Amino acid sequence: MTQRNSTASVGRDESVLSFSRPSARDRGATALDLVYQAADVFRDMEEHAREAEARAQELCRGAMEKLRLAEMRAEAAERAQRELVITAEHKLQDACRALEQAKSRIEAQEDKLTAAELRAQAAEADAREAKKALALVEEAIRKRLLCANPDVDSRLAAAG
């Protein structure tokens, strides 16, 4: 698109416009002015691009720092989780050992209780046998010793 600079001037009669061609010197000044304007536009564009690039770099730096911090937090969380799992495993192992020991002690106490019950039953059986033997001895004493002596029978009857 070609831009033409024409100078319009109003003549003596206000309703008529007259177009004249600018001089070579005016065209050179106009071209130089356009070059300066274009250079200003390019400088503004370059400045805008530098600012946009600087903002983008700052955003990237901020994002990288946030990413680094997030990774550090994730690693710390993973370490904490591993430590919790290890601690839980140790506690579980301790609890299992304690449970096994408790089972073992219970079984030992049950064995002792069973042995004590057997000894008590044997002692009761011995006591019954001793009672029976004592009853037999008493009976034998009454029949053989006391029946042979009539005075003892009368004394026993009087006492009874």
pLDDT tens for residues 131-155? 999 999 999 888 888 776 556 556 6
Residue 116 within any structural domain of the chain: yes
What residues make up the domain containing 80? 23-136
What is 83-106 written as a DSSP string? HHHHHHHHHHHHHHHHHHHHHHHH
Residue 71 within any structural domain of the chain: yes
pLDDT tens for residues 8-41? 444 455 565 555 666 777 888 898 899 999 999 9
Residue 77 within any structural domain of the chain: yes
Residue 159 within any structural domain of the chain: no
- Number of helices (H), then strands (E), in the chain: 2, 2
| Mean local confidence (pLDDT), 81-92 | 97
Residue 80 within any structural domain of the chain: yes
Residue 83 within any structural domain of the chain: yes
* pTM > 0.85: no
Residue 99 within any structural domain of the chain: yes
**How many domains are there within the chain?**
1
Residue 97 within any structural domain of the chain: yes
